[in-house]
């Protein structure tokens, strides 16, 4: 039997689904809530935003699996076990879903969805001139497992796509930029900016007043990375000054977004409750299963996190 400690938040709302999928994959897999005493003997931890210090209490732990592609939530725990291997989920279904969300909010903006929805509420049959978006310059910050799919799908719609990363990504047909100079070039040269970066100490607050001011007037900002990538008051100020034309946001510094947050009152900001890509046990179980087999065989699993890079 392989004991797997599970935590997806305070309510553990997906516990039963994960338990069913893991048992179907291998009857030897037994899922238990992370906070139960039985979890003290767990060899595997499948977690998201777990209580600080709890993983350090699991003395038989061999592998920690993040319940998402991001792993920044793990580093919030000052007692996080320093020597246990960590993997992140790289699920094609999540990449597909997030790419759909990016396309949905971008096309809604470019085809004036907010204007026509307001028209409908007013029962007015007004029109605005259609934009010419063929070849529109789009910047993607973060072109890994998710960003590469987004880039490919945007290219298929005849956008001109440029990607930024810390290092060159093979097998991508888009123009790539790197480092600080490449980041500045991307800001100035594109009308749409899409943040899909991992959150690290180097990328926290990377989209601030200085970054927004370098974007062309009328630029549009999309964030499906992490809320902490953005200095929120700077984004709001840039939109209120009409330097940026608006933003679509799926992530925020505080979630749920407080009812008092000024973003709610800015009609040019499209607010989504962190739903752009949700982890599906149906499609992600196979990766967890293989990672457990690998670690039990003495091998390192795929999608291993590099702690020096923080992702």
User: For residue 168, is pLDDT > 90?
Assistant: no
3-state secondary structure of 205: coil
> What pTM was computed for the model?
0.96
Count of Cβ atoms closer than 10 Å to residue 244 Cβ: 24
What is the structure's pLDDT at 12? 84
**What is d(CA 4, CA 1) in angstroms, rounded to the nearest whole number?**
10
- Whether residue 311 lies inside any domain: the answer is no
pLDDT tens digits, one per residue of 75-96: 999 999 999 999 999 999 999 9
Does residue 83 sit in the same domain as residue 221?
A: no
Does residue 151 sit in the same domain as residue 285?
A: no
What residue numbers bound the domain in which 23 lies?
2-91+279-296
pLDDT tens digits, one per residue of 178-192: 999 999 999 999 999
Report the Cα 301 to chain-centroid distance in Å: 22
Token pair for residue 124?
Answer: 């007015």
Mean pLDDT of 218-241: 98
Spell out the residues 6+ positions from residue 152 whose beta carbon is closer than 8 angstroms to its own: none
Strand ranges inside the chain, DSSP E: 2-7, 29-33, 44-47, 63-66, 86-87, 137-141, 160-165, 175-178, 192-195, 219-223, 244-249, 269-271
3-state secondary structure of 64: strand
Confidence of residue 171 (pLDDT cuts 50, 70, 90): confident
Q: How far apart are the first and last CA of the chain?
A: 30
Does residue 116 sit in the same domain as residue 153?
A: yes
User: For residue 142, is pLDDT > 90?
Assistant: yes
Task: Check the CA dihedral 33-4-12-224 and report its sign.
Answer: positive
Confidence of residue 109 (pLDDT cuts 50, 70, 90): very high
What is the structure's pLDDT at 293? 98
Confidence of residue 4 (pLDDT cuts 50, 70, 90): very high
Spell out the residues 6+ positions from residue 161 whose beta carbon is closer than 8 angstroms to its own: 138, 139, 140, 151, 154, 155, 174, 175
Confidence of residue 147 (pLDDT cuts 50, 70, 90): very high
CATH label of the domain that carries residue 108? 3.40.50.720
Does residue 99 sit in the same domain as residue 193?
A: yes
pLDDT tens digits, one per residue of 194-204: 999 999 999 99
36: DSSP letter: S
Catalytic residue positions, numbered: 226, 274
User: For residue 72, is pLDDT > 90?
Assistant: yes
């Amino acid at each position: 039997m392989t004991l797997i400690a599970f935590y997806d938040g305070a309510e553990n709302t997906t516990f039963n689904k994960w338990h069913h999928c893991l048992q179907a994959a291998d009857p030897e897999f037994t899922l238990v809530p992370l906070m139960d005493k039985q979890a003290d003997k767990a060899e595997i931890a499948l977690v998201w935003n777990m209580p600080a210090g709890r993983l350090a209490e699991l003395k038989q732990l061999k592998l920690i699996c993040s319940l998402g592609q991001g792993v920044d939530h793990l580093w919030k725990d000052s007692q996080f076990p320093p020597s246990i291997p960590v993997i992140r989920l790289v699920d094609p279904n999540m990449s597909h879903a997030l790419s759909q969300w990016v396309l949905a909010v971008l096309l809604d903006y470019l085809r004036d969805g907010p204007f026509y929805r307001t028209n409908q509420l007013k029962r007015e049959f007004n029109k605005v001139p259609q934009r010419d978006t063929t070849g529109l310059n789009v910047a993607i910050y973060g072109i890994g497992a998710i960003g590469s799919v987004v880039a490919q799908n945007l290219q298929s719609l005849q956008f001109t796509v440029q990607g930024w990363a810390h290092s060159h990504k093979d097998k991508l047909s888009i123009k790539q930029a790197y480092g600080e100079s490449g980041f500045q070039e991307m800001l100035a040269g594109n009308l749409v900016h899409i943040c899909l970066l991992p959150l690290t100490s180097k990328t926290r607050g990377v989209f601030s007043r200085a970054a927004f001011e370098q974007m062309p007037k009328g630029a549009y900002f999309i964030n499906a990375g992490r809320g902490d990538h953005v200095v929120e008051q700077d984004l709001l100020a840039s939109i209120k000054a009409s330097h940026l034309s608006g933003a679509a946001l799926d992530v925020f510094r505080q979630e749920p977004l407080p009812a008092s947050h000024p973003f709610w009152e800015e009609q040019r900001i499209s607010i989504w409750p962190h739903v752009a890509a949700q982890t599906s046990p149906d499609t992600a179980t196979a990766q967890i299963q293989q990672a457990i087999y690998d670690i039990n065989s003495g091998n390192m699993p795929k999608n291993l996190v590099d702690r020096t890079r923080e992702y």
